[in-house]
Structure 1
Amino acid sequence: MVDENTPENAPETEETAIIQAGPVSSWLTENGFDHDLLEPDHLGVELIKVAPEFLIPLSTALFAYGFNYLQCQGAYDLGPGKELVSFYHLIKVGDNSDRPEEVRVKVFLPRDNPHLPSVYWIWKAADWQERESYDMYGIVYDGHPDLKRILMPEDWIGWPLRKDYVSPDFYELQDAY
């Protein structure tokens, strides 16, 4: 008699679903880079989760592997009291330009002290994108050459795109002269 409640016979749920490693994850694993797999996005792009302390070694390896273009860096908030996420969409620009290889790297950060090394020194395109993520979410990109507000006034208090942000009733403009 087969027990339907054993792990072997349990129906696949979101928690028990096995995620197939893609080519980038397989290469990273073969070369000893610690990371976790996330389910591919809606376009089938491979998603890789990495701890903050491994972002620079992993990013350097991906650059050496051919991911020479940072198409987008951004951030988002998972909700009040939850983690902040910094993400990187990388592309291999080269001979196969009609369908370049893509990968997304995500780093989950605690909202009370969101520090992460800057990838500016690997991809210069991260400059203003990391500044925007800092300005809107308060993620500090350690080692960034000019990390300061880019959209909000320099004396603004708080991080406007965090889901627990409370807008002030007014903002007093300072006399510029």
Structure 2
Amino acid sequence: MQGRLSAWLVKHGLIHRSLGFDYQGIETLQIKPEDWHSIAVILYIYGYNYLRSQCAYDVAPGGLLASVYHLTRIEYGVDQPEEVCIKVFSPRKNPRIPSVFWVWKSVDFQERESFDMLGISYDNHPRLKRILMPESWIGWPLRKDYIVPNFYEIQDAH
């Protein structure tokens, strides 16, 4: 079943895949990494002016990585804002997705966390570096194939 936004994207020749609706009735779309930045700009112009959240997850051990964006179209005088969920899948080996920092500035720390925990590189992000783990940390802790080190360093709390 195709939603309203998916129909609009098809009408304007924008390539995507409809993934249906979630349990709250929010339309979910899959966008290819190479198309994501241009579609993000189009969605912003179309009225999706608020990035509610961005997160990422590991689909399966050895499989794809996903970056998920929840966008909201906030308009004056509208009680129920329109929402959409965008999923951008990337291969595990050298995962690269265009950053949408220059479209929605609020994605800054969220993309950095996804980089830090899963190793997804967000191209053109102005400050893409670790945010939770030390810079010297090796690996991506939230990947399903991550092997936890068998040692833990206990530091004095000074």
Q: Considering the TM-score relative to the shorter chain, is it more than 0.5? A: yes
Question: Cα 1:96–1:112, aligned 2, differ >3 Å: closer, same or farther?
Answer: farther
Question: What amino acid is the match of 2:109?
Answer: W
In structure 1, the partner of 2:76 is 95
Question: What amino acid is the match of 1:44?
Answer: G
Question: What amino acid is the match of 2:24?
Answer: L
TM-score, with length taken from structure 2:
0.94
What is the distance in 2 between the residues matched to 1:171 and 1:156?
12
Q: Does 1:29 align with 2:10?
A: yes
In structure 2, the partner of 1:73 is 54
In structure 1, the partner of 2:143 is 162
Deviations 1:95-124 (A, max 9, x none): 254210000110111111110110000000
In structure 1, the partner of 2:112 is 131
Q: Does 1:52 align with 2:30?
A: no
Compute the displacement of 1:31 (Å): 1.2
What is the distance in 2 between the residues matched to 1:96 and 1:39?
28
Residue among 21, 41, 45 paired with 1:64: 45
Residue among 46, 50, 63 paired with 1:82: 63
What is the distance in 1 between the residues matched to 2:11 and 2:139?
42
Q: Output aligned runs, 1:108-127, within 5 Å.
A: 108-127=89-108
Alignment partner of 1:42: what SS? coil
Structure 1 segments unaligned to the other structure (5+ residues): 1-19
- The ranges of structure 1 where at least 4 consecutive aligned residues each deviate by more than 4 angstroms after the TM superposition are 171-174
Alpha-carbon contact 2:3-2:20 (below 8 Å) kept:
no
What is the distance in 1 between the residues matched to 2:133 and 2:44?
32
Alignment partner of 2:61: what SS? coil
Cα RMSD, aligned residues only: 1.6
Deviations 1:62-101 (A, max 9, x none): 0000000000001001111111100100001122542100
Alignment partner of 2:105: what SS? coil
Structure having the higher strand fraction is 2
Alignment partner of 2:21: what SS? coil
Compute the displacement of 1:170 (Å): 2.0
Q: Does 1:148 align with 2:111?
A: no
Alignment partner of 1:27: what SS? helix
Q: Name the count of aligned residue pairs.
A: 156
